[in-house]
Structure 1
Amino acid sequence: MTVPPSYRAAPTNEPIRALQAASDLLKALASPVRLGIVRELSDGEKYVHELVAALGVSQPLVSQHLRVLRTSRIVTAHRQAREIRYGLTDDHVAHIVLDAVRHAQE
């Protein structure tokens, strides 16, 4: 199997802070609910009630996981009237999650 250059392991002289940042990102994603939120947001911004309906979990649980994702700067929030719409900060995270889900289904 040939790995594309952009996916190859970092050189051994990679600064530890870059590896720590990657580790922190993976820790923030280390929850089925958070992975589901990112998967849902890969289609575009959504309100909390839309995420609740799509994931089949409670609103407080979704809000708790959104807080973790916001703290990790994976998700952004935009107030619209009385509600908040959530979206992904960066599409790269969606690719990581969607690739991981596809891989797990193989």
Structure 2
Amino acid sequence: MPSKETLAGAGEILRALAAPVRIAIVLQLRQSQRCVHELVGALGVTQPLISQHLRVLKSVGVVHGERTGREVMYRLVDDHLAHIVVDAVAHAEEG
């Protein structure tokens, strides 16, 4: 059985993934790394909203941002979380 700390961390990650915009961000980053304005264009939501959701995902270790010149390029930390999101979307589509 995982430790209480591990279970709490898993709960934080799942809570962070619970917002539809964050799910869409993970799906976008699954394809390739993106900067904020690319996510704004792809998802059709405002820059402040994208930035807020990226902060949440970054705080639980789902995404990592790396500055390249004036842009910050975001990428998924690993593929495990993308699989969770893809499976959840597939399950919802079957529903």
TM over 0.5: yes
Identical counterparts, % of pairs: 53
Aligned residues: 94
- Structure 1 segments, 4+ long, off by >6 Å, are none
| Residue 89 of structure 2 is aligned to residue 101 of structure 1 | yes
TM-score norm. by structure 2 comes to 0.93
Task: Between the two structures, name the one with larger relative contact order (CA 8 Å, sep ≥ 6).
Answer: 2
Q: Which residue of 1 aligns with 2:59?
A: 71
CA distance in 2, matches of 1:28, 1:77: 17
Q: Which residue of 2 aligns with 1:39?
A: 27
* Structure 1 spans left out of the alignment, 5+ residues: 1-12
Letter in 1 for 2:26: V
TM-score norm. by structure 1 comes to 0.84
SS at match of 1:78: strand
CA distance in 2, matches of 1:89, 1:22: 15
Greater radius of gyration (CA): 1
